Amino acid sequence: MKKVLFASVICQLVSIICFAQSDSLASGTFSFSNAKITINKNGERRDILKGSTLDLTSFQIHTSTLAPKTTNHPPVAYSDKEEIIIVKEGTLTVNINTITKTVSAGSIVLIEAGDTQSFMNNADTMVIYYVISFKPKAGINIARGKENGGSIILDWNELPVKKTDKGASRQVFEKPTTAFSKLSIHVTDLNAGIASHVPHSHRNEEIMLLLKGNGELQVGQTFKQSNKNDIMYLEANVLHAFKNTGTEQCSYYAIQWSY
């Protein structure tokens, strides 16, 4: 009887461990073109990435499409997660609490936990946007977010451009939020044949969203092709580097977070 009970416990533990492993994300490139597509009344949704990480109980990235003259959903506030919206194509009208602003392709929106949000497409063409959703293991801190400026809506044309020896950069922001002690976001324009950095590692988890061009992501001693619209995820403390392997300049968002 004891042997049977012991075997049952072992099987349950193995099952739990396997489930946890299958739900955790490993560093690498997640393809936009190969993402699962779900058709809905407004167009389509592409699920690019979903799982847990060292710092996040839930980490999800998908794209949503809004048909002309439609709204994504009635105003809603999430108390357990923070979101970043990046406009892929078209113009998106963003409503956060009492603020409404229309932004163009490339623009970025930070929606902190507890803030009311909804999106509209007031144009005559489709709009597509990325939704990056974070649920931190350390929990949400509403007061910290409010003390540091709260949600942000930034149009692409508002981001100041600084020329560099490798291309250009756009510093978006770096600040504490409801989910993180520090959330850091910038855009890099990288000239053809150039590597962003020598292979390096850091404690902060990171994602890169390739806005244009293509390149090669190094993770440890492996290399993988990354194309326009792909997401690159980098675990904490993993050796990594990125190189523009195309013939033209590439551009990407780099987003890092820490507690």
- Would you call 16 exposed, middle or buried from its count of C-beta atoms within 10 A (0-12, 13-18, 19+)? exposed
Distances (CA, A) of 70 to 25, 38, 131, 176, 186: 34, 18, 17, 33, 30
Per the prediction, the chain carries an average pLDDT of: 92
Q: Which residue has the higher pLDDT, 18 or 222?
A: 222
Bridge partners for 28 per DSSP: 233
Domains of the chain: which residue ranges?
34-156, 159-258
Residues 59-102: pLDDT tens digits?
999 999 999 999 999 999 999 999 999 999 999 999 999 999 99
Could you tell me the pLDDT band of residue 22, with boundaries at 50, 70 and 90?
A: very low
Q: Which CATH number fits domain 159-258: 2.40.160.40, 3.10.580.10, 3.30.2290.10, 2.60.120.10?
A: 2.60.120.10
Could you name the CATH architecture of 34-156?
Answer: Sandwich (2.60)
- Rounded CA-CA distance 53/236 in Å is 9
Q: How much is the pTM? A: 0.90
Residues 38-51: pLDDT tens digits?
999 888 999 999 99
Domain 34-156 matches domain 159-258 at the CATH topology level: yes
Of the candidates 32, 59, 27, the residue with the CA atom closest to the CA atom of residue 227: 32
